[in-house]
Amino acid sequence: MTNQTTLKHQILYRRGSELIRVTSPHQNAIRFEAFPGGELFEENFTLLPVEQPAQVEEGDRCLVLHAGTLSLKLEENGKITVSDQGRILLEEKPELTFEDGYRHYEDRENGRFLARITFKPNPDEQFFGMGHEAHGCLNLKGCSIDLRQINAKCTIPYYYSSLGYGFIWNNPGIGLAELGTNRTRWTARLTRKIDFVVLTGTPAQACETLADLTGHAPVMPHWATGFWQSRLRYESQEELLRVARRYHRENIPLSAIVCDYFHWTEQGDYRFNPELWPDIPAMTKELHENGVRLVVSMWPTVNEKSENYAYLKEHGLLIRTRDKTGVVFHFYGPQAEINVTNPETRSFVFRKLKENYLDLGVDELWFDVAEPEIHPERFDTLTFHKGPGEEVALLYPYCYTQMAYEGIKSVRDEEPVTLVRCAYLGSQKYGALVWSGDIPSTFDSLRAQVKSGLNMSLCGIPWWNTDIGGFYGGDTTDPTFRELMVRWFQYGVFSPVMRLHGSRRRHHEPTPGLIEPSGDPNEIWSFGEENYRILRDLIFLRERLRPYIDQAMVQASVKGHPVMRPMFFDFPDDPACYLQDEQYMFGPDILFSPIVRAGQTKKKVYLPAGEWILTRDRSEWGPGTYEVDAKTDEFIAFVKKGASVLSCF
């Protein structure tokens, strides 16, 4: 082939104005980059590649790079094919009817392009991953997925294929992934290159490689695996302490209590309102004496009344807008937002968080509105420190959590746990505890969350949870919602983090004078006496399970293995396990099948190879599909025969 340069362990090939580079960033992984402008753009974004030995050979009008069992063939006309031991995984499909129409570019300004690449479909292939989104699908084959971040949708551009490989789209810009029956296509609306990585292996091996390539999560601190109490919202210091005191008085284990938004003076002040929160050191001291940690919310919004607005604006630390107003969000007035892709912004804002929260005894931070939330959602009108909004927008939640992690690690040795509403590839290495956003309080929503969590689990981010009970629409007096609360609480026990939160329908008059008053109470005693007994017992079960969960968290850190994972993760050779979208493994030994429909007291459960013990009555079950009973105060969990965790039930 002409126009080629073969360097050590890589290929460089020029085809017209396009420059192509093929490398191996990890054992059994191949990276493909195509630069439509003809010049290398040396940017890894959040990828952590380490160049590996690779073999390059020249064939008949083609070049082939071999890395482990993987091979990428680059033909003279530009077509690429990725194979594993001769088995085709990805074969590029031409954009046009003639043979050299591979990849598509449209010129944009300043050396940037709209770019897309298309692959032939495989009718037998299934896709899993891509972050969380309440679309109700575990298998994403046939789905079209927007590459963007919004409330209740977190885009992690990575999938695992049932063919035994993983695919990283290493591009943090706005775009589209089409995992269709007619094609698999990736589109970036504004970029300087096409960049992706193909890795191979079992689901477990793929998670290990993904962790190596994007970063390993820390080991979750023991405190965080317990029960978290939250609501929208505690209006005062006394109200929050009153709740914590009752948990302590009734000997119910409580690891953390969360202080939600509008505890502050102005958006962007990053401080408590002293009229309602008069003595933070005294509050945190009492909580700590009772073994409870305090988690406090912050938003990236800043309005002109904030004591920090002028400094942030004058020093260029806010997101810039095309209309030069800086306003991206109207919420109790026009709001600008901090530009966390700028290291100077992260340094300044964390200093304020430290002074006004951490130095007063606050333990952890909750980074809400992390997408960031903007209205209207027009990233093409925004400019970040990292570049144009369309080109880098997916990085915002990554940099947001980076601010907390690096800041907290600079002042204490303990690993931070930052509750955050969105994430990106690699956020796990910054201690991101991602939750699924503001979701409705319905059984349909619970059903969708089970699938969302399993897809998220494969994306390298093992710390994930939902608002138990859903966030909005729940009426604590409604029998159906009370049933939902029990079923969601059961799901919460078998989630990486168990956190009760929500905005409950208010049945009382709002407190006068508050900008944002709270909804109804949302503690475990708020849903009737019978529910209180059930939920209390589930908290004690979670407490007994914590040593088992701690062990799973170590594996999540060391190997990248998720704590909750689809059935096929542990049974990759069982085709039936790829079809199970409402049951999953929780750690290596527990199979949990949540009840996700109103009034349901029976459910079909698939048990793969092995011997299984139903935790409720210690009965022994073999492989097969069974209908299992589960009254409202019962759940369906099986444990592998011989596993010590059975003693916890």
Cβ of 515: how many Cβ atoms within 10 Å?
A: 12
Cα–Cα distance measured from residue 364 to residue 360, given in angstroms and rounded to the nearest whole number: 12
Which alpha helices (DSSP H) does 300-427 contain, by range?
Answer: 309-314, 343-356, 389-392, 396-409
Q: Is 368 part of the annotated catalytic residue set?
A: yes
Set 92, 212, 371, 467: catalytic member: 371
Question: Within 13 A of 434's CA, how many CA atoms are on the CB side?
Answer: 37
Is 368 within 8 Å of 297 (Cβ atoms)? yes
Alpha helices (H) along 301-364: 309-314, 343-356
- Annotated catalytic residue within 91, 100, 438, 516: 438
d(CA 149, CA 157) in angstroms, rounded, equals 11
Gap between the Cα atoms of 266 and 423, Å rounded = 26
Tokens of 18: 């396009």
Do residues 358 and 411 lie in contact, with contact meaning Cβ atoms separated by under 8 Å? yes
User: Parallel, antiparallel, or unpaired: how do β-strands 612-614 and 636-640 relate?
Assistant: antiparallel
| In 108-249, beta strands by DSSP E | 113-119, 127-133, 143-147, 153-161, 165-169, 175-179, 184-191, 194-200, 227-229
Alpha carbon distance 551, 634 (integer Å)? 26
SS3 category, 14: strand
Assess whether 371 carries a catalytic annotation: yes
Per the CB < 8 A criterion, the answer to whether 541 and 649 are in contact is yes
Q: E strands, 545-623, where? A: 564-565, 584-586, 590-593, 602-607, 612-614, 620-621
Q: Which residues contact 184 (CB under 8 A, 6 or more apart)?
A: 90, 118, 119, 120, 121, 178
- The whole-angstrom distance between residue 307's C-alpha and the CA centroid of its chain comes to 32
Residue 503: strand pairing partners:
472
Q: Which of 92, 208, 368, 520 is catalytic?
A: 368
**DSSP helix/strand/coil, 533:** helix
Considering Cα of 470, then 476, then 479, then 483, what sign does the dihedral take? Answer: positive
Alpha carbons within 13 A on the beta-carbon side of 252? 22
CB 50 within 8 Å of CB 213: no
Is there a contact between 423 and 397 (Cβ–Cβ < 8 Å)? yes
- Rounded-to-integer distance, Cα 569 and Cα 60, Å: 39
Asked if 460 contacts 199 with a C-beta cutoff of 8 angstroms, the reply is no
Report whether 568 contacts 601 (CB < 8 A).
Answer: no
Show which residues are catalytic: 368, 371, 438
